[in-house]
Structure 1
Amino acid sequence: MKKVLFVFGTRPEAIKMAPLIASFSNDSNFDVKVAVTAQHRQMLDQVIGFFDIKVDYDLNIMKHNQTLHQLTSDLIARITTDILLTDAFDYVFVQGDTTTVLAASLAAFYQKIEVVHIEAGLRSHDMHSPFPEEMNRVLTSKLASYHFCPTAVSKENLNNENITKNVYVVGNTVIDALLMGLEKIKKTNESTFLNQFKSIDFSKKIVLVTCHRRENFGKPFEEICEAILEIAHSQSENVEIVYPVHLNPNIKEIAHQKLIAPNIKLITPLDYQELIWMMDKSYLILTDSGGIQEEAPSLGKPVLVLREVTERTEGVDAGTAILVGSDKFKIVSVALKLLENQSYYSSIASSSNPYGDGTTCEQIKEILKYSQSN
């Protein structure tokens, strides 16, 4: 039996790890332990509860106004002393590109434990955008022993960096999580959600907005807000804009100052189950979230990506997503075209999802089982 440690710290990591943890936990070949660093305490706990994840180690690492330098050094020290030096593991699983990912990978590497990188090979090819995520994933790729890529483009990125051993294209676990989450939601009465969001007029076209990334702080976010306002004003009769506002003060304060219109609903951050329900109810999504770029095509929802560059180019190439950045004119013009031109909307909404079919977790498990026996 191989002893496996899953380490994650944020809500997106938890979502993408959840179906993988379930898959490995149900297999007698693996002894599974879960560690959380709690980079996002409240939002992380919501996902852990929804997916019934049993946590074995909770580092609860975050401090008020903590710098990246402090966070990284604290993570490496705590993961090593509180976990890796107290128990023996064959594999440490990390997902994506957070500071937790880099710190856990480095700590495991120092202990000569094999690192398994989920969602490997994403690249924007700009070390400062997204920051510090691009650096995190590039360095993690150098430390990992197994690289599970969502697409062939990701594998090619790794090959171009001379990383060719144990590189597999398996799709993205976020699709497994989405399908798993939707099955759970089906057991909940629709009126439960409708009553929760009474202020939202679902007879209109719902435009869902999520925006929280560091590179959009300041002037870019202000321009995004201006674009949202213009869309709201020009489509006041038939569009309802719903924005679950991130708790970060760099976002929250500006959003509440600028986004004032009858058909703009600023709501508190959504639990995962609420988010995927709202995505399913939406007509169009504006986001800088990587996970939503991957999930939305499985729901048939066009995505405008509020970033200057994206490491998820497959969605753009497949026609499921349009890169608009923080350019007010581009955001408004593309959004209005999607809202007013049905044939254009249908051409994007009907594009197939390049990120997988919901079998990613089983593929990863079988590959590791096969590698053990050889």
Structure 2
Amino acid sequence: MAKLLNFTLLLSSTLFILCTCTIVSSFNVSLNDFAPAVATWYGEGTGAGSGGACGIEDGDLGKAPYSSLTAAGNDALFKDGAGCGACYQVRCSSNPACSNSAVTVVISNQCPGSCNDDPVHFDLSGTAFGALAKSGQAEQLRNAGKINIEYSRVPCNYGSQKLMFRVDKGSNVNYLAFVVEYQNGDGDLGFVELQVNGAWQPMQHNFGRSWKINLNPTLQSAASVRLTTGLSKKTLVVDSIIPANYKPGDVFVATVLCNQNPACSGRPVTITITDECPGACNNDAVHFDLSGTAFGLLAKPGQANALRNAGRINILYQRVQCFYPNEKITFKVNTGSNRYFFAVAVEYENGDGDVASLEIQPAGWRQFVPMQQMYGSTYKWNIPNGANAPYSIRVTEVESRRSAVAQNVIPRGWTPGAHYTANVNFL
């Protein structure tokens, strides 16, 4: 889960909604004293280790925020999977190549067998093992193979990374399993519950970071998740994070909330950016000028007006993927369009939610041609001779660079001001 920063927000009539879908409080744990342990390493010398026994995608481990600093733990650390996600500082001074500087690693895998000959044994990724060394001596330290270290349990801190739920590949409408990643604080999970059609039901520990539940009846609406940590038993509710039409491989993430005003509920609200807040809004590093409705939704029941009367408050925010259930990408033809000029705005775009480029393909053309950004998510195109509808449009997102093609979405006889819905969307 991500560590959130405080930012300022000002109430006005502007509707200002940032796509987000996860809750974002921190679980806190206390630092422990350093204790003795043993460390080895596995995989490639500059590798990221593996997430197999914890259910974490190996491809994630080599990227921030894990950054290849992972460890497989023996039974004392792995704890039948309950130790997955816990963070530890490790350091060494027993070898001449040791720097004695602490490195933070996360338990992402299990080290069975001979690792249990030691009371506490970290089988580090090659990268993590090398990070214990003095500058330029990583290979020398790895050549030692096995070293004595010291370790201490610490809170996990994934910076701006969002708490993430990844739906397992075996999931279907009657069975849901997901892996929880990037959990700040304790990092481990002791108990997970799913709110199924209004009632909380316990999930079963599947393995590692994976939890499962049989669904009968199936989900009729988006489900909330309640997480309880293993170490401190702190609880966090993630509202409406799993949609009823989830699919294997889906990834769901995070949100906006306020927690410093007495009227704040501390619960997140999902919003979408629809307008600009210029001028004084730029005196703050990040500033959300919310609609009155969105501002009021941050409040406890019955205290929306009390919160709005504050006018300006500190909030926590995270960017997440947009999700518009049962909606497809929609194109609104600009009212200034005519037979020589064509412009459209993109609406209900799942995923990144933003647009890097639009390209258009007239009937009978083999290639797409770029449109020009007019403003916001509106793009324009001067229609050349012979460029007849129906038009196909290719949408490319900013962050993921994914593209989706809306085939023949703008029909012959299109009209200015009309909405035309594609048969595709992201996610």
TM-score by length of 2: 0.23
- Using CA pairs under 8 Å that are at least 6 residues apart, name the structure with larger relative contact order, 1 or 2: 2
Instruction: Please tell me whether Structure 1 or Structure 2 has the larger radius of gyration of its CA atoms.
Output: 2
The structure in which a higher percent of residues are helix is 1
TM-score by length of 1: 0.25
